[in-house]
């Protein structure tokens, strides 16, 4: 699990009193505790959606750890983990997905092959 592995460095932090709309592009690690509306994009970055967070929008990241609320889709290159009191309303897609008991999940769960992600990226680059 992300939270049991070696601690990842957080480069960007949005506190619980923060409200932002728009698109966020980031590298490294990001933790959100506030409210965000829009898309979050990072090819290899790791995002933590804290227990107080409320996100309305799509996430395309390296990995995601969700303990707050996400209304939108998450597409991760490596993994997605959802832990209580997490609430995920939308589709999730990654090679590794973990959903703990006690989580609210309403959407489709698509487990991909890591090789599929690589071939998608190659065909995206060729267009």
Q: What is the pLDDT along the chain (127 residues), one digit of tens a residue?
A: 444 445 568 889 999 999 999 999 999 999 999 999 999 999 899 999 999 999 999 999 999 999 999 999 999 999 999 999 999 999 999 999 999 999 999 999 999 987 765 545 444 544 4
- Give 34's contacts (C-beta < 8 A, 6+ positions apart): 14, 15, 16, 17, 18, 19, 20, 52, 53, 54
pLDDT at 120: 52
- Give 75's contacts (C-beta < 8 A, 6+ positions apart): 58, 59, 60, 61, 92, 93, 94
* Whole-angstrom distance, CA of residue 103 vs CA of residue 90: 13
Does the predicted model carry a pTM greater than 0.75?
A: yes
Largest CA distance in the chain: 43
First CA to last CA across the chain, in angstroms?
35
pLDDT at 117: 53
DSSP state of 117: H
* Whole-angstrom distance, CA of residue 94 vs CA of residue 105: 15
Is the preceding omega at residue 85 within 30 degrees of 0, hence cis?
yes
């Amino acid at each position: 699990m992300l939270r049991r592995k070696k601690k990842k460095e957080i480069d960007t932090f949005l506190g619980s009193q923060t409200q932002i709309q728009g698109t966020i592009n980031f590298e490294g690690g990001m933790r959100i505790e506030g409210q965000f509306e829009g898309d979050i994009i990072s090819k290899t970055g790791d995002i933590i959606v804290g227990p107080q967070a409320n996100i309305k929008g799509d996430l395309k990241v390296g990995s995601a750890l969700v303990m707050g609320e996400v209304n939108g889709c998450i597409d991760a290159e490596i993994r997605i983990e959802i832990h209580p009191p997490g609430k995920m309303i939308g589709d999730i897609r990654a090679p590794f997905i973990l959903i703990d008991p006690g989580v609210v999940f309403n959407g489709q769960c698509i487990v991909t092959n890591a090789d599929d992600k690589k071939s998608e990226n190659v065909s995206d680059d060729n267009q």
